[in-house]
Structure 1
Amino acid sequence: MLHLMETPAPAAHVDGINRENRALLERLHRDMPGAFDVEHASAVLGLEATRTRTLLAYLARRGWLSRVRRGLYIAVPLDTRRPGEWTEDAWIVAERTFSPCYIGGWSACQHWGLTDQLFRTVLVVTGRKVRGREPVIQGAPYRVTVRSVDKLFGTTMVWREQVRVPVSDPSRTIVDILDDPTLGGGMRTVADVVHEYCTGEHRDDDLLISYADRLGHRAVFKRLGFVLEHLDIDAPGLIEACLERRSSGLIALDPSIAVNGPIVRRWGIRVNVTLGTPGGDW
């Protein structure tokens, strides 16, 4: 939430806006902590939609509102020296724009130290319908993937400036990128992340299995079991759990790559991407 600063009583013009418009802006700060559109602002301000639309456009031109996308705004902090140049933290923007949501995939991998790769695009998992899946907001690129609200579990809150933002915990992050390897930057990167998870402080086999069961996508167990064996990770109990839960049929190790490859029937996987050592190249 954006917090108001204590300020002296405003003069006729303070910070480039008059007393009336500043009062309306303060009300938006107080009652609209997230992103808002004309309809929501109109209800909060008690103004007609036409008047509200004009006001929001005016405040946006002066830099006191930032356009998230067409018709959607967030308020710029009142203590900002140069409002026209201000940008919000990308994770905070995501939470305010796509809530209910969490930061996941490669962004969560970076947060938990599971990868050394740098991804500029912020990956967001949301429970709401969105139009574009790769929006650019305030100059920051996002990739948005949609799940039903009941699948938005396995998260923890982290502080970004003075705002709490949900991010998938390490185990949920692993489940997500095994379910859809593109969320982790492709299966090669996913395999590296799984290795880091299984050999590091975040490993929790029981929680990992619980999350995968709850998500209900059996392909997760196929990819996990295959990667564990291929990378020669010491996890006999986890491998056995994957064998018990693997689905029938054949899946691609990396479904984003339209390439044939050898089939590992133990896991029902077509190995269409090279993971490399220690289990040998495919």
Structure 2
Amino acid sequence: MKPAGLSATSREQLSKLLRDSPSVLTAGDAASALGMTHNAAARRLAAWSRAGWLARVRRGAYVPVPIESASTDIALEDPWAVATAMFTPCYIGGWSAAEHWGLTEQIFRSICVMTTKRPRNRQPVLRKARFELHTVPVSNFVGLKTVWRGGTRVQVSDPARTLVDMLADPALAGGIRHLVEMLTSLLHDQPKEAAKLDGYVGKLGVRSVYKRLGFLLQRDHPDQTALIEVCRQNLSAGYAKLDPALPAGRLATAWRVWVPATEAPEVQP
């Protein structure tokens, strides 16, 4: 569907609303920018959507349709910017942050979003973009960097912070095998970031991270003696799975971590 013509007044209003190139338009945005009531703004946005100038993301939220587009069936121009608008307070983390920082060459088909919201649908698909939403407390908003996506400020976890999130929940890496590769990439290619790992673990207080990190370092990177010792000194009581998504094959007693049977033999710190 090609966009329909607009009256001079409607065209002026839409131009004013889009002047700052917002990633997502809501009735609240329109009401504030155009000086009208919330209900009137909602009706105006819906009318522009029917006319083909906006594409509905979900109820009450729209994105601009590029002027060159022959249809309103468009993909999101920048899912990160849309995530920031739709799920704030949030940051981009997990595998999406790892891709951004060059920690992996793996291509993931969804955007990993860490948010304080508790949505019913944790895997929404918005205009062909799939999001994976993970709820975190606001106290977890440390170790973040701000990047610009068009005219939108987006928060993303820095490389070391990304690894700590993954060590706390390997599912954020797409599983333990991807996590192992990303940890190796961080240690070898970004040693200054690797030096931040202990500080972030201490701030977040997820003690199982020391168990997983210590096991992986001792097995794969025994030269990381200082960080291995930090992990050993901070081992807590109880046991954790190396990857909670996989059945435990045996217990690596030195690190108090249950390891899948497919992993390498136990090592001693």
Instruction: State TM-score, norm by structure 1.
Output: 0.83
The one-letter amino acid of 2:164's match is: V
Q: CA deviation at 1:50?
A: 3.8
The one-letter amino acid of 1:166's match is: Q
Pair 1:236 & 2:225 matched: yes
CA distance in 2, matches of 1:234, 1:26: 59
Pair 1:274 & 2:269 matched: no
Match of 2:172 in 1: 183
Q: CA deviation at 1:66?
A: 2.6
Structure 2 regions of 5+ residues with no counterpart? Answer: none
Out of 164, 182, 193, which is 2:182 matched to?
Answer: 193
Given that 1:122 and 1:141 are in contact with CA atoms closer than 8 Å, whether structure 2 keeps it comes out as yes
Once structures 1 and 2 are overlaid, which stretch shifts more, 163-172 or 68-77? 68-77
Match of 2:162 in 1: 173
CA distance in 2, matches of 1:164, 1:44: 20
Once structures 1 and 2 are overlaid, which stretch shifts more, 64-73 or 27-36? 27-36
Out of 241, 257, 262, which is 2:250 matched to?
Answer: 262
The one-letter amino acid of 1:149's match is: V
Given that 1:225 and 1:267 are in contact with CA atoms closer than 8 Å, whether structure 2 keeps it comes out as yes
The one-letter amino acid of 1:229's match is: Q
Root-mean-square deviation (Å): 2.6
Match of 1:113 in 2: 102
Q: CA deviation at 1:31?
A: 7.3
Given that 1:34 and 1:97 are in contact with CA atoms closer than 8 Å, whether structure 2 keeps it comes out as no
CA distance in 1, matches of 2:167, 2:240: 12
Structure 1 regions of 5+ residues with no counterpart? Answer: 1-13
Pair 1:81 & 2:73 matched: no
Given that 2:93 and 2:156 are in contact with CA atoms closer than 8 Å, whether structure 1 keeps it comes out as yes
CA distance in 2, matches of 1:33, 1:134: 23
Deviations 1:9-36 (A, max 9, x none): xxxxx97222222232234335793535
Pair 1:218 & 2:207 matched: yes
Match of 1:144 in 2: 133
CA distance in 1, matches of 2:210, 2:57: 38
Match of 1:158 in 2: 147
Alignment CA distance shift 1:31-1:162 (3 Å): closer
- Identity, in percent, stands at 39
Q: Count how many residue pairs are aligned between Structure 1 and Structure 2.
A: 263
CA distance in 1, matches of 2:142, 2:55: 30
Q: CA deviation at 1:227?
A: 0.6
Instruction: State TM-score, norm by structure 2.
Output: 0.86
The one-letter amino acid of 1:270's match is: W
Match of 2:27 in 1: 38
Alignment CA distance shift 1:124-1:202 (3 Å): farther
Match of 1:6 in 2: none
Given that 1:99 and 1:126 are in contact with CA atoms closer than 8 Å, whether structure 2 keeps it comes out as yes
Equivalence map 1:51-130=2 (5 Å): 51-76=40-65, 80-82=67-69, 84-86=72-74, 87-130=76-119
